[in-house]
């Protein structure tokens, strides 16, 4: 019984889709306006997003490259332990 219902439903759906596709081809399609890329690229929110992303990436790269040296030379923590500290900024970046 369920198979017969699904076959009837599929036939109705096919007919509906065919009808919708045919009617959409007959309508005049309007051209979409060109997005104002110049205004977008110079807008304050976009520039703030670029600045934030750039400084976040720079800060993360600085942490990942300088923290092991700092911990080894200043704090006198062996590099074998530093590897575990180097993993934490990556994990925290996903949650902050």
pLDDT tens, residue by residue, 55-69? 998 988 888 888 878
Q: Is pLDDT above 80 for 50?
A: yes
Mean pLDDT computed over every residue of the chain: 78
Is residue 7 a part of any domain in this protein?
yes
> Which region among 5-14, 20-29, 39-48 has the lowest average model confidence (pLDDT)?
20-29
Residue at 87 is within a domain: yes
Using a pLDDT cut of 90, give the percent of the chain over it: 23
Does 58 map to a domain? yes
Residue 76 gets the label, from left (phi > 0), alpha (psi -120 to 50) or beta, of: left
* pLDDT of residue 1 exceeding 60: no
Quick check: is 85 in a domain?
yes
Question: Dihedral through CA 70, CA 71, CA 74, CA 79, nearest 10?
Answer: -110
Q: CA 26, CA 20: separation in Å to the nearest integer? A: 10
Q: Residue 91: which domain range? A: 2-26+37-95
Q: Does some domain include residue 31?
A: no
Q: Is 27 left (phi over 0), alpha (psi -120 to 50) or beta?
A: beta
Number of domains in the chain: 1
pTM: 0.50
Confidence of residue 8 (pLDDT cuts 50, 70, 90): low
Q: Is 75 exposed, middle or buried (0-12, 13-18, 19+ CB in 10 A)?
A: exposed
Q: How many angstroms separate the CA atoms of 27 and 20, rounded? A: 11
């Amino acid at each position: 019984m369920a198979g017969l219902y699904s076959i009837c439903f599929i036939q109705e759906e096919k007919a509906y889709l065919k009808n919708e596709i045919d009617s959409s081809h007959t309508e005049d399609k309007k051209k979409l306006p060109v997005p104002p890329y110049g205004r977008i690229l110079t807008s304050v929110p976009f520039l703030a997003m670029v600045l934030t992303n750039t400084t976040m990436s720079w800060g993360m790269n600085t942490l990942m490259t300088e923290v092991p040296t700092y911990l080894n030379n200043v704090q006198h923590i062996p590099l074998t332990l530093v590897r575990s500290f180097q993993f934490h900024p990556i994990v925290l970046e996903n949650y902050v």
